[in-house]
Structure 1
Amino acid sequence: MLQTERLILKLLDEEDEQCIVRWRNKINIIRHLFSFKGTTFSEHRRWFEQYIKHQDRMEFIIMIKENGKKIGTIGFNHIDYRNQKAEYGILIGEEEEQGKGYALEASRAFINYGFKELNLQKIYLKVFYDNDEAIKLYKKLNFQQEGVLRKEIYKNGQFKDVVIMSVLKEEWKES
């Protein structure tokens, strides 16, 4: 478990399934995901069963410390311990909690954990080129653009470019 001034980040467990499925089925969330549809409880349960078997993924639930409300997820995927890198992702699923700085606060703590505790040297991500809010967040976290995968994902009737960004351990400024 990780804590910030306003948040608790706890490892994902089965009790979080209701929230995650609800979030991943919201239209405003789906439009920013690489998957083309939401998810069902049985699909999520199969994903969770695979998740607990593998060591290359780490997912946390983001909760407000004051009231225990679950508001999103944050995690590392494709953790490569040999090459000391991982793919980062965050989702604030509760609309009324978006825009309050929770994503930045959770990300700072989680990325710091990745560099200090997991000894990662590089944390990277992929984001749609037109997801301006997410890109703005990532730049605040000192992520730099590495490149663009042109017409990488077919979504909403068009091919969309995907931006690859990363931050290196030596570039990270703990906040």
Structure 2
Amino acid sequence: MFYSTERLNLRSYKESDLERILELWNELDVQQNTSTEHVVPRGPKFKDTVKGWLDQARFHSIIEVKATDEFVGFLTIRDENPKNRDGDLAITLTKSQWGKGYGSEILKFVVDYAFRGLALHRLSLGVFDNNNRATSLYKKVGFVEEGRIRKANWVDGEWRDVILMGILEDEWKAGLPK
């Protein structure tokens, strides 16, 4: 099963995708903006970690360009708190695909799907305070800052805050076309 947006396909992962995800995770800028762990090159064993993320997610997807099947990245929604219908969103795009509007396109789809298809009440995420592009994109799609974990991540010789953001089902509904 797969879904599509105007320019992108979203599909379940295959074992062969794990190599592309490993390459993505080994992009320095990507890893610095997504991981609270040490920023280091990851070897083949890291594919097992990625497989665990994807297998345990409520929803996961490989993102590809429709016209070319070119790899864009991947996303997951984990059941952070199933009783309260709270999903935790993580999206990672390869640097070569930044600035093409794919993040906006995919986020609009996944937020809609989280509420319509997965019946979530809220969708949450965390983003580092220096990742202005991502923070701006999340706000554009409807996420609001809910809090901050101060100086929570040491990267490249400095402390970074983690901004906690979320969007509620009623906020999403209010933003739908009338």
Deviation at 1:139, TM superposition (A): 0.6
CA distance in 2, matches of 1:50, 1:122: 20
**Percent of aligned positions that are identical:** 27
The correspondence for 2:51, drawn from 45, 48, 54, is 48
Structure 1 residues without counterparts, runs of 5 or longer = none
Secondary structure, counterpart of 2:16 in structure 1 = helix
The equivalent residue for 1:92 is: 93
Superposition RMSD on alpha carbons, in Å?
A: 1.8
Partner of 2:62: 61
For the pair 1:153 / 2:153, whether they are aligned, the reply is yes
Paired letter, 2:85: Q
CA distance in 2, matches of 1:49, 1:75: 11
After superposing on structure 2, the runs of 4+ consecutive aligned residues of structure 1 that deviate more than 4 Å are none
User: What residue ranges of structure 2 are gaps of 5+ in the alignment?
Assistant: none
| 8 Å Cα contact 1:7/1:65 also seen in 2 | yes
Q: Where do 1:67-146 residues align within 5 Å?
A: 67-95=68-96, 97-146=97-146
Q: What count of residue pairs does the alignment treat as equivalent?
A: 172
State TM-score, norm by structure 2.
0.89
2-structure distance, mates of 1:83, 1:111: 17
How far apart, in 2, do the equivalents of 1:143 and 1:50 lie?
23
SS at match of 1:146: strand
Q: Distance in 1 between matches of 2:87 and 2:126?
A: 12
The answer to whether the 8 A contact 2:144-2:166 is kept is yes
| Structure 2 counterpart SS, 1:164 | strand
CA distance in 1, matches of 2:176, 2:12: 22
Spell out, residue by residue over 1:138-175, the C-alpha distance to the aligned partner (whole angstroms, 9 max, x if none). Answer: 01111000011011112222221110000001111347
Separation (CA, whole Å) in 1 of partners of 2:53 and 2:27: 24
Range 40-49 or range 12-21, more displaced: 40-49
Q: Which residue identity lines up with residue 168 of structure 2 in the other structure?
A: L
